[in-house]
Amino acid sequence: VGRAQVGVPRVPRGPAPVTSLLSLAVTSEQIEHLHRRFKQLSQDQLTIRKENFDSIPDLEFNPIRGKIVHAFFDKRNLRQESEGLADEINFEDFLTIMSYFRPIEMNMDEEQLDRFRKEKLKFLFHMYDSDHDGKITLQEYRNVVEELLSGNPHLEKESARSIADGAMMEAASICVGQMGPDQVYEGITFEDFLKMWQGIDIETKMHVRFLNVDTIAHCY
């Protein structure tokens, strides 16, 4: 299959031109596959709303289901505004979100790889930063850990909190270093987040298996 520039997708029924995606090419086959999945989710409507995600079986039992769905409507991820949620997303918005999950292209240079990695991590950072203030606070971190561990019947809420508190202390030591007795670590900034993920292969770990998009990536 030939490659189509992202700005001019060739998909059925002429959805809006895709101008907000990253500047890398994707195949027309990939775009058409995503368009079919979009139509499935939207039930042939022009937009998707949060309730449309209720029809995804693999997502139903995901402990952070709410945060995943939330991320699709987060205006920061849609590259629209710095805060707030969209009520619905169109196909162009859907492609914008899916662009965060693209695999590495073999011809990427070092600068492109660095930008690619930062964009993926920014998407993940937004899932933690629920109040859109640019920091992941201890309470926000606790909320995510509690949700992730909610399916474990042998783990009490206090144990989950202890895990989150320990992780936050580790984040402070990585990002700030030795702290004074009266010093308070207010939260993880995006710069801190980048430090914490240094050396971890985020490029191949962000997938979307629940959308069944096997031509783009697979997610766990």
Domain membership of residue 36 (yes or no) is yes
Regarding whether 80 and 139 lie in a shared domain, the answer is: no
Higher pLDDT, 18 or 182: 182
Mean pLDDT, range 163-167, rounded to an integer: 87
For 3, the 3-state DSSP assignment is strand
State yes or no: pLDDT of 88 exceeds 90: yes
Q: Which of 54, 76, 78, 79 is nearest to 66 (CA)?
A: 54
Residues sharing a CB contact under 8 Å with residue 53, sequence separation 6 or more, in sequence order: 41, 59, 69, 72
Average pLDDT, the chain: 78
Q: How much of the chain, in percent, has pLDDT values that exceed 90?
A: 29
Give the confidence band of 209 by pLDDT, cuts at 50, 70, 90. low
Domain boundary among 68, 100, 132: 100
pTM value is: 0.75
**Is 165 within the bounds of a domain?**
yes
**CATH number of the domain encompassing residue 156:** 1.10.238.10
pLDDT at position 182: 73
* Domain with 164 in it: 120-204
Q: Are residues 77 and 149 in the same domain?
A: no
Domain count across the chain: 2
Query: Residue 1 domain-assigned?
Result: no
Report yes or no on 22 lying in a domain: yes
Q: Closest Cα partner for 42 from 102, 11, 101, 88?
A: 88
Question: Has residue 10 been placed in a domain?
Answer: no
140 shares a domain with 93: no
| pLDDT digit string, tens, across residues 19-42 | 334 434 457 787 888 899 899 999
Mean of the pLDDT values across residues 196-214?
68
Q: Which residue has the tokens 């993940």?
A: 124
